Amino acid sequence: MKFLFRILPLLLSVSLPIGPSLADTMPTVADLDFMNGAWKMDANPELTEVWLDDAGGVKQGMFRNMKNGKYYMGELLLIEDTDQGSMFRFDWYKADFSTFRPSGSPPIVLRLTDSGIDSATFRNIDQNQQAPQHVVYIRTGPDQMEVRLRPLDKNGNPDESKLTVFKYQRTTIN
């Protein structure tokens, strides 16, 4: 009986979680509602990005780039909750639906590493990829959103000297 009283606290401490699990603390697509809707940057190039409400652990979007009034390229955007976290997958396409990436290379994959009420940070899981390696979405006002793209430096940190910022205004889809 004394043995049971000695081992019982040990068994309870192993079987009962003390705090939230990693899966409970990771950001998910449900945290990205601030991205919903249509966003446009009137410049040359003219950029449009549209995000749907999340459904079934997936948020889907599209991006269009118009140069000098002509279609230049588009992206299919998908953020999915997985066992490894929320993954942001996208690929670039020309008007004929051929891809901009080298033949045989996979689509771009970034992991959602942080989110807040009006922000989300994605980091490339393959530093050998030439695509954006650090992407931040920030809602800067009720009808404004910025997308900040950075490569990573040799130490794996965002390279601020090569920052690209897209400044979007909320728009409607015709």
pLDDT surpasses 80 at 9 = no
Q: Helices H, strands E: what count in the chain? A: 2, 10
Closest alpha carbon to 33 in 57, 64, 59: 59
Beta-ladder partners of 109: 89
- What are the structural domains, with CATH classification, of the chain? 24-171 (2.40.128.20)
Q: What is the pLDDT of residue 104?
A: 73
Q: Which of 74-88, 125-139, 159-173 has the lowest mean pLDDT?
A: 125-139
The pTM (predicted TM-score) of the whole model is: 0.81
What is the average pLDDT value for the chain, to the nearest integer? 84
Average pLDDT value for residue range 16-21: 46
Q: What is the pLDDT of residue 152?
A: 78
- Residue for token pair 């990771």: 26
pLDDT digits (tens, 9 = 90+) for 70-113: 999 999 999 999 999 999 998 889 989 888 777 777 888 999 99
Q: What is the pLDDT of residue 118?
A: 96
